[in-house]
Amino acid sequence: MTDMDDQESVKGNDPEKVVISAALTGALTTRDQCEHIPYTPEEIAEDAAAAREAGASVAHIHARTPDGSPTFETETYEEIREAVRERTDIVVNFSTGAVGVPVEKRVAYVEETAPEMAALNMGSMNYAKYSESREEFVFDMVFENSFSEIREFVTAMNGAGVKPELECFDTGHIGNARPLVEHGDLEPPLQFSLVMGVLGGIPATVENLAHQVRQLPDDATWQVIGISRDQWPLCAAALSMGGNIRVGLEDNFYLPDGEMATNAELVEQAADLVRTVGRTPATPDEAREILSID
Amino acid sequence: MTDMDDQESVKGNDPEKVVISAALTGALTTRDQCEHIPYTPEEIAEDAAAAREAGASVAHIHARTPDGSPTFETETYEEIREAVRERTDIVVNFSTGAVGVPVEKRVAYVEETAPEMAALNMGSMNYAKYSESREEFVFDMVFENSFSEIREFVTAMNGAGVKPELECFDTGHIGNARPLVEHGDLEPPLQFSLVMGVLGGIPATVENLAHQVRQLPDDATWQVIGISRDQWPLCAAALSMGGNIRVGLEDNFYLPDGEMATNAELVEQAADLVRTVGRTPATPDEAREILSID
Amino acid sequence: MTDMDDQESVKGNDPEKVVISAALTGALTTRDQCEHIPYTPEEIAEDAAAAREAGASVAHIHARTPDGSPTFETETYEEIREAVRERTDIVVNFSTGAVGVPVEKRVAYVEETAPEMAALNMGSMNYAKYSESREEFVFDMVFENSFSEIREFVTAMNGAGVKPELECFDTGHIGNARPLVEHGDLEPPLQFSLVMGVLGGIPATVENLAHQVRQLPDDATWQVIGISRDQWPLCAAALSMGGNIRVGLEDNFYLPDGEMATNAELVEQAADLVRTVGRTPATPDEAREILSID
Amino acid sequence: MTDMDDQESVKGNDPEKVVISAALTGALTTRDQCEHIPYTPEEIAEDAAAAREAGASVAHIHARTPDGSPTFETETYEEIREAVRERTDIVVNFSTGAVGVPVEKRVAYVEETAPEMAALNMGSMNYAKYSESREEFVFDMVFENSFSEIREFVTAMNGAGVKPELECFDTGHIGNARPLVEHGDLEPPLQFSLVMGVLGGIPATVENLAHQVRQLPDDATWQVIGISRDQWPLCAAALSMGGNIRVGLEDNFYLPDGEMATNAELVEQAADLVRTVGRTPATPDEAREILSID
Ligand SMILES: [Zn+2]
Ligand SMILES: [Zn+2]
Ligand SMILES: [Zn+2]
Ligand SMILES: [Zn+2]
C-alpha cells in the first residue's frame, strides 16, 4: 500500500487492476481517414477479440452498415453481440448517443439486445470543432440530452439489466446524476466516463481531470476518455490517479509516436502504460467485479 | 497588500473595489411570488436608482410588459434605458438569453438600444429543477446556445459598442471563449459571470467556484451569480477570492435571515458583506474602469 | 438542504451550526500593541464570558503572568480554568505550543489541569515574518514539533481525557495525522485547525483553504485560523465551505473597518458574518456535540 | 498545439522537451541495499555518462567516500565535477542538504566547485518514516532550513554563478520563495523541485501535485521528485501536466515491474514514459536553455 494507492481519486476503482475499454468503431470517422476501422459485425468481433488479447476487458461499440455509415438497427447490434460472444469473454458495451436520431430508435436496440453495459449521455452541450490553422469552426452542433430523454434510457436499461456508463462531458453532467439517484432512477455504485477535450465540454487538462474526479461519489468507478492526440497524456494522468482508461479508433487513430494503429495496437500501448505506473490490466471477469456487473 | 489581495483568484479584478451588480427583474418570476419585482420601465428605473444608492454599480435588466410577462421589444428596452439614465449613473446591462425566442429578435434590441453591457450565454446545457420534497422534476428544458448563435450576438455587440458579459454555467462554457478570442470575435480583457447552482450546470460549491476561477485568463474580470438560498455563502466566498458579486430579485428574493426583500435591501446586505471582508463597493465609474467599459 | 449544505468541504461539521472559537490571549503580543489583551486569570475569564455572550462556544487560552509575559505554570492554568468555569459554560481549550520551552513543562499543565481541549501542533516549519516596507525579515525561527514530541503530548492528552485540536500550518501537517491514527495514538473523529498565513507555512488564499480541506478525513471537523488582516475574508470563505472559525486578539486586533477591538467585539462581528451566510453560532453544548467532546 | 500543451500547469517548461534529471547517489542508502549505487568520482561519472546516453540531461549528485559514507569535502566534489566533465556534457547539479552538518561546510564546496546547479532546501519540516507492518516510526528527524541558512546558500550560489534548484517538500516551502524574490536574493525565472511522499511533507498524490504546481509563478520551471514505489505514477502524472521529472537510485531502486535497476536503466524507463505521453527527452543544451542556465 503506497500513498498513490490510497489517494482519494481512486474512488471505487481497484488501485491495482485497470479496466481498459476499447472503443472499436465510433460513428463519425471512416476508412478514408483510417483503414483499420471495423465496419461489419464480423470485423468488429475480430477487433474485440484482438483487443481482449492485448489487455482490454470492455468493448465499446457503435454499429455500422457494411459501407461504414452509422446504423441503429436492433438486428445489426444483435449480430455484433453474437459475433463478439462467439470469440471472446470481453464485456460488451453499446453506444446510445447520436444527434438527430429519435430516442425511441436508440432505446429499442438497447432493450432488445441487452448488452452488459450501455453508454448514457448525461447532459446537453455544444459539440463543435474549431480549426486554428483554417481559422474557422469545422462543425457546430448542439448535443441534446434532456433529463426526460436520459430517464427514458435509464428506464429501458434498468428493465433490461444493462449497466449504464454515465458519459460526462462537463462538470454539470456529473451533477445531473444526483437527482436521478434521489429519484431512484440510477442505482449506485455508478460508473462514470469522464470525456475530455470536446469543444463545448470541459477542456482536456490534468487539472480538469482532477476536478471531475473530485465531484464523484466515493463508491463510484471511473475512466477517462481523451480525444485525439491528448489521449495518451490523459491516460497517463488517469492511471496515476487510480482511474480506468479507454482507447481505440473511436477516440484516436495514433500511437504516441504518430503512427496510425489498429485497435489491438492501441490497446497494447495502453497496457504497457498500465504496467509502467505499476498496475495491471484487469481481465473481463475482474472488470465485471470492479464495475458491479452481474 | 496581504496574501488575500495577492491571490491568483483575484485575476483582473480590483482587490479592493467590488463591482456589485443588481439583477433587478429576471424573466421567470412574478409578483405573485414576490411583490417587489419591478415590471414597468419606471419601476425598473426606480429600483436601479435605489440599488445604486445602496452600493450597486451595474443594473442587469430583463424587460417586462406591464402585466409582468417577458418582452423582447426594442421599444421597451429603449424606454428602460432612458428611464434609468434620467435617474442614475449606474452601468446598464441588458439580458439576451431566452428559451424559444428567435435570436434575431434578441439581437435586434441589443443593437438598437446599445446598452453599455449585455449578457452573452456561452454554451448549451440542460436547464432544469428537481424538487426533493415532491420527488419530481419541476421543469426540464434544453437551453440552446450554439456557437453560431453566440457569434451572431457577439457581432451585433461589437458593432454597437456593447461590452459582452460572458455567462458561464459550466466549465466548458468558459473554454468556449477560447476559439472566439482566437477567431477575433471576442476581445480581451473578458468579463465572466460564473453562474452556479442551476441543475444542468455546475453545482454551487466553493470548490467548484475556485475551479471555475482557475480556468479564467489572468486579465479577466469575474463575478459570481448564485441562485436562491445559496447566494449569500457564494457571495461571501467570491468576495474572499477577490471576485465581484451579483444579487437582486432575478436570482433570490431573500435576505440571509429569510425575510423577503426589495432590490435595494438585497444590495444593502451585499454592500455590508463587502465591507466585512475588508473591501468597498465600487462606484459606477470605478466599475467602468474595472470592467474596461469606455 | 441546498448544494452548499451538501458540499464535500463540510466534512464532519454541522452545515448549520458554527463553532466560533475565541483565541483570547496568545503569547506574543502585549498591551503596548493592544490594550484589550487580558493577562490575569480574572481578566481572561471575564473575556471568556463576554465572548460566550457574543456567540463563541470555545475559548482558546495561553496563560500570562500579571505583567503579560507567557507562563507555563500549572497553577496559573488551574486558576484560569476555575475562573472561567465560575462564569460561563464555554469549552476550555489550552495552548501547548512554544519555541524554546521544554516539552515536559508544557505536557505537565495539560495533564494536571485536564482542559476539555488542547492545541496540538502537528509538525515542524519555519516561523518567520518579512516586512515588505522595511525589506527585511522581522523574525526567523524554526518551530520544531517532531513526531516524538507530538506523541508525548498525545499520550498525555489521552490519559487526561483532553480532546486534541490538531493545528496544521501546512499540507504535510495534515498528513502527519495518518501514522498517528494507524498507530492508535489519535482516535477519530479528528478536529483540525487550519492555520493560514504564517510565513513558513501555507499562504492564506481561498484556493489553499479548499486544498487543505480536501486533505481531511470525511468525518473530521475543522476550523480556519487566519492571521491579521486576512482573517475576515478567510472566515467568510470558511463559513461558506461549512467550516468553523476562530477569531480573537491572539490572531488579529482589528474589525474589518480597521478599528481596534475587544475579544467580545471580534466575536460579535464573527457571529454577524455567520448569520450573513445563513448559519447560526453553536452554543457550547452544541459545540461539544459537534466536536465529540464528552 | 493541443489542450495539454497549453494547460496552465506547463508553466515555464517546454511543452515538448522534457528535462530528465538523474539523482545518481543520494546520501542515505548503501550498496548493501542496492549494489548499483556509485560511490567514487569515477563510478559517479560513469553513471552520469550512461544516464546521459539513456536520455538524462541533468545529474544530481551527493559525494561519497570510497566506503559509501556521505562526505562534504570540496576536494571530492571537485573530483566528481572533473570526472563527469571528461565524459559527458550533462548538466552538473550538487546537493547541499544534510541533517547535522554545519552550513558553512556545505556552502564551501558549492562556492569553490561552482557546479551549474545546486539544490536549495526551501524550508523546515519533520523528516520521518513510519512502517505500517512494524507499526513503528523507523526514523524521526527535524529537517531544519531556516531563512537565514537558506539565504547563506543563496548568497554563495549567486556569487559563484550557480543556479539554485528550489527543493520544496510542502506548500509553505514554495511560498518561502516569495520574500526571497522580493528581497532580491532569488532571481526569476525560478526552478522548483516538487518533492512528494516524505512523511512530514506533502503526501504523494496527483491532487497534491496539481496543487503544488498551481502555487508556482507563471515563468517557473518545475520537476517532480517522487520517492520509492510511487515514483513512476508521479512521473506519469507530471509528464502529462507538462512537468520535468527526476529518477535515479537516490529516490528509488526499482523499475515498475519490481526489478532492481541501474541508474541508466531507470533513465531509460523514464525516457520511454516521456515518449509515451508524446514528448521527447531534452539534450543537456536544451535543458540549459529551458532552465535558464548560462
Ligand atoms: Zn462511443
Ligand atoms: Zn438575467
Ligand atoms: Zn494559540
Ligand atoms: Zn539529493
| Residue-by-residue DSSP string for B149-190 | HHHHHHHHHHHHTPEEEEEESSHHHHHTHHHHHHTTSS-SSP
List chain D residues with CB under 8 Å of B8. Answer: 214
CB contact under 8 A, A175 and B142: no
Partner-chain residue, chosen from C136, C147, C215, that has the shortest CB–CB distance to D126? C147
Label residue C99 by pLDDT band (50, 70, 90): confident
Q: C115: domain CATH number?
A: 3.20.20.70
Reference C75, options C84, C58, C63; nearest CA is: C63
Cα B281 to Cα B90: distance, rounded to the nearest angstrom = 13
D188 lies in a domain?
yes
What is the helix (H) or strand (E) element at residue C225, kind and residue range? strand C221-226
List chain D residues with CB under 8 Å of A278. Answer: 229, 232-233, 256
List chain B residues with CB under 8 Å of D8. Answer: 214
| pLDDT for position A1 | 47
The CA distances from residue C154 to B35, C148, C171, in Å, are: 59, 10, 20
Q: How many domains are there within chain B?
A: 1
- Closest-CA distance, B87 to chain C, in angstroms, reads 31
Which of B7, B8, B11, B211 to mutate: most D Cβ within 10 Å? B8
Per-residue burial over A146-177, b = 16 or more CB atoms within 10 Å of its CB, e = otherwise:
bbebbbebbebbeeeebbbbbbbbbbbbbbbb
| pLDDT for position B4 | 87
Q: What residues of D are in the C interface, CB distance below 8 Å?
A: 123-126, 128, 130, 132, 135-137, 140-148, 169-172, 175-176, 178-179, 182-183, 199-203, 207-208, 211, 214-215
Cα A124 to Cα B169: distance, rounded to the nearest angstrom = 12
Q: What residues of A are in the C interface, CB distance below 8 Å?
A: 8, 214, 218
C172 lies in a domain?
yes
Please give the distance, rounded to the nearest whole angstrom, from the Cα atom of residue A208 to the centre of ligand 2: 28
Give the 3-state secondary structure of residue C93.
Answer: strand
Please give the distance, rounded to the nearest whole angstrom, from the Cα atom of residue C144 to the centre of ligand 1: 55
Determine if residue B197 is left, alpha or beta; phi over 0 gives left, psi from -120 to 50 gives alpha, anything else beta.
left
CB contact under 8 A, A202 and B171: yes
Per DSSP (E only), the strands in chain A are 17-18, 20-23, 58-61, 91-94, 117-121, 125-131, 136-143, 163-168, 191-196, 221-226, 244-247, 280-281
C2 lies in a domain?
no
pLDDT at B219 over 50: yes
What pLDDT, in 10s, does the model give residues B113-137? 999 999 999 999 999 999 999 999 9
Q: Which residues pair with D224 in a beta bridge?
A: D194, D245
User: Is residue A200 a contact partner of residue A143, using CB atoms and an 8 Å limit?
Assistant: yes
Task: Give partners of A (≥3 CB pairs < 8 A).
Answer: B, C, D
Would you give the DSSP letter of residue B292?
Answer: T
pLDDT at C1 over 60: no
Reference A291, options A215, A191, A194; nearest CA is: A191
Task: Give partners of B (≥3 CB pairs < 8 A).
Answer: A, C, D
First to last CA, chain A: 28
What pLDDT, in 10s, does the model give residues C247-283? 999 999 999 999 999 999 999 999 999 999 999 999 9
Reference D270, options D241, D243, D245, D234; nearest CA is: D245
| pLDDT for position D3 | 82
Q: What residues of D are in the A interface, CB distance below 8 Å?
A: 1-4, 7-9, 132, 196-197, 203-207, 210, 214, 228-230, 232-234, 236-237, 239-241, 256-257, 269, 272-273, 275-278
A7 lies in a domain?
no
Q: Which residues of chain D have pLDDT under 50?
A: 1
Cell numbers representing residue B98 in the block: 431566452
Give the number of whichever ligand sits closest to the CA of residue C62. 3
| pLDDT for position D229 | 84
Give the number of whichever ligand sits closest to the CA of residue B250. 2
Task: Give partners of C (≥3 CB pairs < 8 A).
Answer: A, B, D
Please give the distance, rounded to the nearest whole angstrom, from the Cα atom of residue D26 to the centre of ligand 4: 5
User: Is residue C61 a contact partner of residue C44, using CB atoms and an 8 Å limit?
Assistant: yes
Chain position carrying cell 526571497: D180
B1 lies in a domain?
no
| pLDDT for position C229 | 84
List chain C residues with CB under 8 Å of B236. Answer: 236-237, 239-240, 273, 276-277
- Give mean pLDDT, residues B254-260: 96
List chain B residues with CB under 8 Å of A148. Answer: 137, 140
User: Is residue B245 a contact partner of residue B18, using CB atoms and an 8 Å limit?
Assistant: yes
| pLDDT for position C85 | 97
Give the 3-state secondary structure of residue C195.
Answer: strand
Torsion of CA C271, C272, C278, C283, to 10 degrees: 20
List chain D residues with CB under 8 Å of B218. Answer: 218
Pairs of CB atoms within 8 A across A/D: 122
B146 lies in a domain?
yes
Per-residue burial over C195-234, b = 16 or more CB atoms within 10 Å of its CB, e = otherwise:
bbbbbbbbbbbbbbbbbbbbbbeeebbbbbbbbebbbbbb
List chain C residues with CB under 8 Å of B4. Answer: 204-206, 229-230, 233-234
- Mean pLDDT in consecutive groups of 10 residues from the start of chain A, 294 residues: 85 98 94 96 98 98 95 96 98 90 91 97 97 95 96 96 98 98 97 97 97 97 94 98 98 96 98 97 98 94
Cα A11 to Cα A8: distance, rounded to the nearest angstrom = 6
Cα B112 to Cα C41: distance, rounded to the nearest angstrom = 72
Pairs of CB atoms within 8 A across B/C: 122
What pLDDT, in 10s, does the model give residues D6-52? 999 999 999 999 999 999 999 889 999 999 999 999 999 999 999 99
| pLDDT for position D100 | 82
Cα D40 to Cα D45: distance, rounded to the nearest angstrom = 8
pLDDT at B97 over 90: no
Reference C268, options C55, C102, C100; nearest CA is: C55
Cα A133 to Cα C171: distance, rounded to the nearest angstrom = 44
Q: Which domain holds residue B42?
A: 16-290
Please give the distance, rounded to the nearest whole angstrom, from the Cα atom of residue D6 to the centre of ligand 1: 26
B2 lies in a domain?
no
Q: What is the pairing mode between strands A221-226 and A244-247?
A: parallel
Q: What residues of B are in the C interface, CB distance below 8 Å?
A: 1-4, 7-9, 132, 196-197, 203-207, 210, 214, 228-230, 232-234, 236-237, 239-241, 256-257, 269, 272-273, 275-278
Torsion of CA B233, B235, B237, B241, to 10 degrees: 180
Please give the distance, rounded to the nearest whole angstrom, from the Cα atom of residue C250 to the centre of ligand 3: 7
**DSSP count for chain C of H helices, then E strands:** 10, 12
Label residue B179 by pLDDT band (50, 70, 90): very high
CB contact under 8 A, A125 and B123: yes
Cα D247 to Cα A60: distance, rounded to the nearest angstrom = 37
Q: What is the pairing mode between strands C20-23 and A91-94?
A: unpaired
Instruction: Name residue D263's amino acid.
Output: N
Cell numbers representing residue B36 in the block: 417587489
Cα D98 to Cα C282: distance, rounded to the nearest angstrom = 48
Instruction: Name residue A62's amino acid.
Output: H
C91 lies in a domain?
yes
Partner-chain residue, chosen from B230, B276, B277, that has the shortest CB–CB distance to C4? B230
Pairs of CB atoms within 8 A across A/B: 122
Q: Which residues pair with D191 in a beta bridge?
A: D165, D221
